[in-house]
Amino acid sequence: MKTLALFDAKNYDIDSFEKLNNGRYKITYYDTKLTMDSVSLAKDKDAVCCFVNDNINKEVIDKLVEYGIGVLLLRCAGYNNVDIEYAKDKLKILRVPAYSPFAVAEHAFALLLTLERKIHKAYLRTREFNFELSGLTGHCLHNQTVGIIGTGKIGQCFAEICKGFGMKILAYDPFPNFDLGYEYVSLDRLISESKIISLHCPLTEGTYHIINKENIEKMQDRVVIINTSRGGLIDSKALLEGLENGKIRGAGLDVYEEESDLFFEDNSHRVDIDDNIRLLISLPNVVLTAHQGYLTYEALYNIAETTLGNLDAYLKGEELVNEVKA
């Protein structure tokens, strides 16, 4: 029986993989992330599976190759944490390109609704039997202009939800799909004309800190920013400054650029949390969740199914439709 080392495994990952594995593979689950410090756990395994915050650098790739492992399974869509160029001709990289675009898009809109209708504040008040409405006045989304950066599957799902609320859509994508019927505009125009900006693009050299101090200055006053993609898309210091000076009315974040040592773990006992995220969480106009946009039963099922299917295809020598190539 072929063996699989699955890193950064949580109970919900184990449940979904065990239900779908049906004894196909001997899976060993590790709660630690895959890094140079933990890669030795993959020794004597036939395949390795990792997640979004594992660090697959040159050294880790060399070790996997040394152990005779030929395939790395990403149970996620993004692959910015993998040195794809270095892995070329050394390791097959297979991902899950579309586990549930609806899950992430719905979470992004939930963050937007929470901010615009102050649901988070109302929830805390009513738990203490405070039913006063002062300070809870919100904004209607109907007729608001939303700028969507990235019109892949998740961006498209988010756009459809926005349409249902009667919102005007501006879109930016370096590879526009005009068949979608969106009004594609330049990034500068989207930034300057949108009252709400939602990020649905991958993290690349070109998109790193796409929301930065310069672009924030171009935005309308009291803009709302939503990010459920990758934390590195936003310069967190610039975001914090914009929130504090009132340029940005609110931010709904499911990701954070320094999340790798924080998210998916209980850090309530730690005192060495970086100041940026401490300040962001403390602001009343910020709603931050810990990369849970994908976390639905449907998405977990699709992730496990596609990941195991990717391994099946690799071991059988079939076409690798989900391969990531440099």
Domain ranges for the chain: 3-99+296-316, 101-288
pLDDT surpasses 90 at 45: yes
Confidence at residue 99, expressed as pLDDT on a 0 to 100 scale: 85
Given the residues 116, 230, 249, 257, the one annotated as active site: 230
**Rounded Cα–Cα distance for residues 28 and 105 (Å):** 32
Across residues 273-296, what is the average pLDDT? Answer: 95
Q: Report residue 261's pLDDT band, with 50, 70 and 90 as the boundaries.
A: confident
Tokens of 234: 């936003």
How far apart CA 231 and CA 80 sit, in angstroms, is 11
Quick one: pLDDT band at residue 193, thresholds 50, 70, 90?
very high
Q: Phi and psi for 324 in degrees, rounded to 5? A: -95, 120
**Beta strands in 179-281, from DSSP E residues, in sequence order:** 183-184, 196-199, 223-227, 248-253
Active-site residue, from 291, 298, 319, 323: 291
Q: Is 106 a catalytic residue?
A: no
Residue 235 has pLDDT above 90, yes or no: yes
Topology alike, domains 3-99+296-316 and 101-288: yes
Both tokens of residue 230? 């990758």
What was the pLDDT predicted at 49?
98
50: nearest Cα among 289, 307, 315: 307
If you classify domain 101-288 with CATH, what class do you get? alpha beta
230 part of the active site = yes
pLDDT above 70 covers a percentage of the chain that reads 100
Q: What is the pLDDT of residues 63-119, one digit of tens each?
A: 999 999 999 999 998 899 999 999 999 999 999 998 889 999 999 999 999 999 999
Token output for 80: 């910015």
pLDDT at 5: 98
Q: Is 291 part of the annotated catalytic residue set?
A: yes
Q: Tell me the pLDDT of the chain averaged across its residues.
A: 96
Rg from Cα positions in the chain: 21
User: Where residue 39 falls among pLDDT bands split at 50, 70, 90?
Assistant: very high
Q: Examine the pLDDT at 290 and tell me if it is beyond 90.
A: yes
Strand duo 248-253 + 26-29: pairing: unpaired
CATH of 3-99+296-316, picked from 3.30.420.40, 3.40.50.720, 3.40.50.261, 3.30.450.40, is: 3.40.50.720
Residues 148, 150: Cα–Cα separation, whole Å? 6
Q: What is the pLDDT of residue 326?
A: 79
Q: State the pLDDT at residue 109.
A: 98
Share of the chain above pLDDT 90, in %: 95
**Residue reference for tokens 């660090």:** 55
Does residue 260 register a pLDDT over 90? Answer: no
CA proximity to 61, closest of 97, 34, 21, 31? 34
**What predicted TM-score, i.e. pTM, was given to this entire model?**
0.90
